[in-house]
Structure 1
Amino acid sequence: MNAPCIKLDYSTHGKGEYIKSNWGCVVFRKWKQHRLQRKINQSTRPSTHSFEELLKTCRLSSDFEIYQLSKNSPITLYYYASVIKPEILHDEILPALQQVNQLSLEELRQAISIENNEIIEAVEDLMDGLMRGSVIIHSTQTPKQFLLVPAEHIENRSVSLPEVEFSVVGPKEAFVEPLQTNLNLIRKRIPIPELVVKEYTIGDLSKSKTAILYLHGIANEQVVHTLTQRITDIQFDQIVDSSFVAQLIADDSNSVFPQLIDTERPDRVASLLAEGKVAVILDGSPHALTGPTSFVEFFSAFEDYFLPWPIASIFRLIRLFAILFSVLSTALYVAVLTYHYEMIPTTLLNTLVSSRSGIPFPPVFEALILELVIELLREAGARLPAKIGQTIGIVGGIVIGTAAVDAGLTSNILLIIVALTGLASFTTPIYQMGNTIRLIRFPFILAAQWLGFLGVAACFALFLSHLLALTSLGHPYLVPIYPLRVADLKDSFFRLPFRLQTKRPQSIRAQKQNRFNKPNEKNHLIQPDIEE
C-alpha cells in the first residue's frame, strides 16, 4: 500500500511541489509526468530560426510595411504600421537616416535621437520588439545585425476616479491600463529606492508584461521568492487581466474565497507595500493584486483609515454583522419554519401564519425563488448600460416583489428578509468577496431544509474547516484568529489609533517589524490659553 503524499509548505517551496515517500507516491509520479510533457511541448513548439522566416510570416499581414530609403540604398526598414506612431517614423527616424544613410548601424544608432534603441542579433528579440511597436533597420553591410528603434503608439485613458472602491474622503485616483502609468502612481507615493520592481513576460500569445513590487528590507524574502516562482511558472496562452494571474497563482484554485486582494486604488497598494506585502501589476489591467492577505482584510475598506478610529471600528463591525446576516438570515428562516417553529414567539407566529396563508410552496422553494430573482435582477443591472441598469434594478425589484406578494407566491416577510440579505451583501469593500457571499448563501439554505439548525451548523463547520486549511501565499487565511496573533487584532475587526500601531502585522513576518517609534504623549498635552 502506498504511503500518503506529503505536501510542502508554500512559504518555502513552489506551488504544487511534492516529495515522494519511502514507498513512492502516485501523485508525485503524475506531477513529474505532467512537468515532463510540458517540457516536451515547449521544446516542440514552433519558433522562428532566421530573419527570412520571420519576414515570410510577417508578410502575411497587410499592415506589415517594408520601406527602402532609395533604390540603391543598403538600408531597409521593417515595421507594423498599426502599432507604431507615424510621427516618430517621419520626424525622427527617416530624417536621420537620409542624412547618414551610408554609415554603419552603430553610427546610425547614435544619430537617431530616440532612447533605448539597440543593435541586436537574436531573431526572438527582434520579433518581440517588432510586435511591440519598434522599427527594424537593416543594412546589407551587416546582414546579421539589426537596429531596433522603439516607436510604439499607445492609446491611453487618463487617470480617473475609482469605480469599484470609491470613497467619499481620501485620494480619488485609480489605476489605468498602462503598466508604466500604474508604476508612476505607486512610486510617487513611495519615493524611495527600496521600492523594487521586477518585470516579467507571461502568456505565450499575449506576451503580457507583469511587474512584481515589494520593499527591499521590509518584505519577507520567502514571500517574494514564492510569488516570483509562481509568476515565472505560469503556462497559459493569453493573459488578459490580473484576475487570470490571481487564479493561476492561488494556493487553492478550487476555492470560492479569493486569496489575493484585487484593488484599483494605488494608495491602498502603497499602504500594503509599506506593511511588508507584495503586489502584482499586469500591463493592460486597471487592477493590482496584493498578498498575502487574510479573510478579515476583505471587510476592511481603505476609507476606514481616513476616519476617526471609533467611527471606523463601528463601520467594520457593521460590515461583519451584515455579512453574517446576509449568509444566515434566509437559511435560519427556512430552518425555523420547517423544523423549529416552536421557537417563534406567539405574537410573531400569528404574523407569519397570516403572511404565509394561501402560499402553495414550502419555505425552501419560496426562498430559492426569491434569491434567484434577486440574482437575476443584479446580473441584468450589471450587464445593461449604467442608466438603464439602475432603472431595471429598482423598478424591476419593486414590480416583481409587489406582484409576487399580491399573487400569493411568496410571503411579504420573506421578501423583506431576502431584500435585506441582498443589501447586506453589498457592504463588502472588495468585489470578489461580495461574489463569494452571494454564492455561499445557497448551500446554507439547502442545509437548513435538510437538517434545520443542525444542517446550518454543519454547513458553517464545513466552511470554517475550509477556511482553516486555506492559505494565501503560504500564510494562514484566518489570521489573526488562527493562529492567534493578539498584536494583529489592533487592525482587524476594529481599528485602534495610529499611535498604537507601531509594529507591522506579525503574520506577514516582515524583516523590519517596527513601523515608527511611539510618539511622546506629553507633547500632545493641551496648553491653556488663559494665564492664571
Structure 2
Amino acid sequence: MDHLKLPMNTQTFLDTMKEQFNQSPDLVQKVFQMEGQSIIVLFISYQVKKDRLERELLEPLTQSRKPWTNQDLQNKIPLASSSKEKSIKKLTEQLIHGNICVYIEGESEAVTYFLPQQDHRGIERAETESLVFGPQMSFTESLVTNLNVIRWRLDTEDLVMEKMIVGERIKSEVRIVYLKSLADEENVETMRQRIRDLKVAEVEDTSVLGQLIEDSSSSVFPQLLFTELPDRFCNSITKGRVGVMVDKSPTMLIGPMTLFSYFESTEDLYMRWNMGSFIRLLRFSAMFISIILTPMYVAALTYHYEVIPSSLMVTLGQSRANVPFPPVLEALLLEILIELLREAGARLPTKVGQTMGIVGGIVLGQAAVQAGFTSNILIIIIALSALASFTAPSYLMGTAIRIVRFPMIILAGAWGLIGITFALSFLIIHLLKQKSLGRPYLAPIYPLSLRDFNDSIFRLPFQKNTRRPLSAMPKDKQRYSNKKSHEHKDVDPS
C-alpha cells in the first residue's frame, strides 16, 4: 500500500479505496461531474458530521460553475482544518480518523478536511479517586477534551504537549506533557525514548502503556502514577514531573514518582497544613499496620506467647478453643475471604455491590466464628488490616500492600518474628532497588533529602513550602522567594 500514490483515474481511485477498506459498506463514495471534471468525495458514514458536510462542503462544491483545483478547495471551502495527501496509505489513515477526502481527477494530491463526529461522555465527577475538598471533575476518554482541561488549568505558553503515535497495527495518539522551564530534560528524554522504542501492535489504555515503559515489570509496586484527576495531574506537572496522555483513555500517567507519592492526595493541599500532615501521616501508619498486624498475630500465637499480655492470653485461649486450624491457615482463610468479598463488591452493580460487601462480611464473619473456623479477635485484626489498606489514595498501591501481606503471613507462620524480620528486610531491599524513570523510588529517604520531607512525609504551611521536591529533578527548584512569602501588607488604618 505504501507504493500506491496519486494521480489515478476516477474508477481506479474508487476501486483502490474500496479495496483498502475491504469493500466496507460504511465507506461512502460520491462522484460529481462538473465542467468536464470528476470530483470524488469520500468519507466513513458514521465518523463525520453530516450536517456540516452538506452545508460547508457539498453545497459550495456543487454550486460552482468553474473547474476546481486543489488550491481553490483550500481557499474557497469554509473549513479551517485542511491538508493535502498523495499517498493512499495516508488517505486511508485520515479517513479512519474522521476526515473527508476530496479528490479531483488528474491532481497529484487529494485534499482532506477534519470533520469528525466524536461521541464521548462529558466531564463528570471522579469515581476511583474521590475528594472531599477541591475540584471534582475528572478526565474523559476524549483526548481533545482532556487537552482543553489541561490547557485551561495550566494557562501558560511554557506548557509543552508533544505528539507521538504508538502501535504498529492499531495506532493511538500519545501526548507527552510537561513545563519546558521546569521538567528535567533527562526525564523528558527517557519518557520520549521509551515510548518511541515500543514495538507493539496496539496500546489499549494508558495503564497498558505504563506497564510497557516502567522500569521493572516484575515488581508488585507501581512505578508510575495513574490518575483521573486533572488537578493532581497538573499539580505534578508544576513540580517538574512529566505526564503522558493516551487517546481514548480517561487515565493519565505521571513520572518519575516515589513510594511516598502514592500516599499523597491533592486534598492535603486544600485543607490546613496541620490537618493535611495528620492525614498523610495517618496513611503511612495505616500502610504499616496493614502489612504487619496480621503477621504479628500469627507469629505471636505460633511461636511467641511471651509477647502476649497475660490478661489477653485468657481471652485468646477462649476465642481459639474451638478453632481446629493453626493460626497461619486461619489467617490465610480469612484474608482470602476478605479479598473475595472485595472483588465481588467491585464487580457487581453499585447498589448490589455495597450490600454484598456489608451483609456478606457480617454474615460470613459471624458464621465463621460460630462454626469454629476462626476467632473473634482475628476477624477484628483482618478487618482493621483491610481498612488500613484502603486508605491509600492510589488503588494500585492499596492492592500492592494487600498482596505483600500474604507472603508475610506465610513467613510469620513458618519462622515467627524471624520470618517477619526477613520479609521486611527483603521488602526494604526490593524498594531500594526500584526506580521510576531511572530515579530513586525511596526518595527522600534514599538518597536522604530532609528538604523533601515536606512534600512527601508531611506538609508545612505554604509560607515555608518555597522549594519544589528534588525527587522530580526540576530545573527551577525555587517556587518563590522565602523572604517575600512572610511579608504581610495590612491596610494602614491611619
Select 2:102's aligned residue among 137, 140, 148.
137
Verify the 8 A CA contact 1:68 1:76 in the aligned structure 2.
yes
Q: Would you say 1:164 and 2:139 are equivalent positions?
A: no
Displacement of 1:54: 4.3
Using structure 2 for the length normalisation, give the TM-score. 0.94
SS at match of 1:410: coil
Displacement of 1:349: 0.5
Equivalent runs, 1:53-452 vs 2, <5 Å: 53-70=16-33, 73-100=37-64, 102-142=67-107, 144-452=108-416
In structure 2, do the counterparts of structure 1 residues 528 and 47 end up closer, same or farther at CA, with 3 Å as the change threshold?
closer
Distance 2:400 2:485 in 1: 44
Name 1:26's counterpart in structure 2.
Answer: none
Verify the 8 A CA contact 1:118 1:149 in the aligned structure 2.
yes
Question: Cα RMSD between the aligned structures?
Answer: 1.9
SS at match of 1:500: coil
Deviation sequence 1:248-279 (CA, Å, 0-9, x none) = 11011111111111111111111111111110
Distance 1:415 1:268 in 2: 36
Distance 1:499 1:426 in 2: 32
Deviation sequence 1:49-108 (CA, Å, 0-9, x none) = 456644313142121121112496501112211222211221211112102372112212
Distance 1:70 1:397 in 2: 73
Seq. identity, %: 40
SS at match of 1:198: strand
Verify the 8 A CA contact 1:499 1:519 in the aligned structure 2.
no
Deviation sequence 1:170-192 (CA, Å, 0-9, x none) = 11111111112111111112111
Displacement of 1:519: 4.3
In structure 2, do the counterparts of structure 1 residues 504 and 224 end up closer, same or farther at CA, with 3 Å as the change threshold?
same
- Kindly provide the amino acid, as one letter, of the partner of residue 124 in structure 1: K
Distance 2:487 2:98 in 1: 58
Name 1:8's counterpart in structure 2.
Answer: none
- Kindly provide the amino acid, as one letter, of the partner of residue 211 in structure 1: R
SS at match of 1:498: coil
SS at match of 1:516: coil
Deviation sequence 1:310-342 (CA, Å, 0-9, x none) = 111111111111111111111111111111112
Displacement of 1:356: 0.3
In structure 2, do the counterparts of structure 1 residues 247 and 146 end up closer, same or farther at CA, with 3 Å as the change threshold?
same
Q: Which moved more, 1:93-102 or 1:197-206?
A: 93-102
Distance 1:335 1:249 in 2: 39
Name 2:469's counterpart in structure 1.
Answer: 505
Name 1:27's counterpart in structure 2.
Answer: none
Verify the 8 A CA contact 2:298 2:409 in the aligned structure 1.
yes
SS at match of 1:328: helix
Distance 1:424 1:382 in 2: 18
Distance 2:2 2:399 in 1: 42
- Kindly provide the amino acid, as one letter, of the partner of residue 515 in structure 1: R
Displacement of 1:471: 0.5
Verify the 8 A CA contact 1:220 1:511 in the aligned structure 2.
yes
Distance 2:276 2:425 in 1: 30
In structure 2, do the counterparts of structure 1 residues 466 and 229 end up closer, same or farther at CA, with 3 Å as the change threshold?
same
Name 2:446's counterpart in structure 1.
Answer: 482
- Kindly provide the amino acid, as one letter, of the partner of residue 237 in structure 1: A
Distance 1:48 1:479 in 2: 52
Deviation sequence 1:198-234 (CA, Å, 0-9, x none) = 0111122331111001111211001111101111112
Verify the 8 A CA contact 1:490 1:501 in the aligned structure 2.
yes
In structure 2, do the counterparts of structure 1 residues 176 and 115 end up closer, same or farther at CA, with 3 Å as the change threshold?
same
In structure 2, do the counterparts of structure 1 residues 120 and 416 end up closer, same or farther at CA, with 3 Å as the change threshold?
same
Displacement of 1:242: 0.5
Total equivalences in the alignment: 484
Distance 1:128 1:200 in 2: 15
Where structure 2 has 5 or more consecutive residues not aligned to the other structure, the ranges are: 6-12
Name 2:9's counterpart in structure 1.
Answer: none
Distance 2:420 2:441 in 1: 22
Displacement of 1:391: 0.7
Q: Would you say 1:493 and 2:446 are equivalent positions?
A: no
- Kindly provide the amino acid, as one letter, of the partner of residue 129 in structure 1: Q
Using structure 1 for the length normalisation, give the TM-score. 0.88
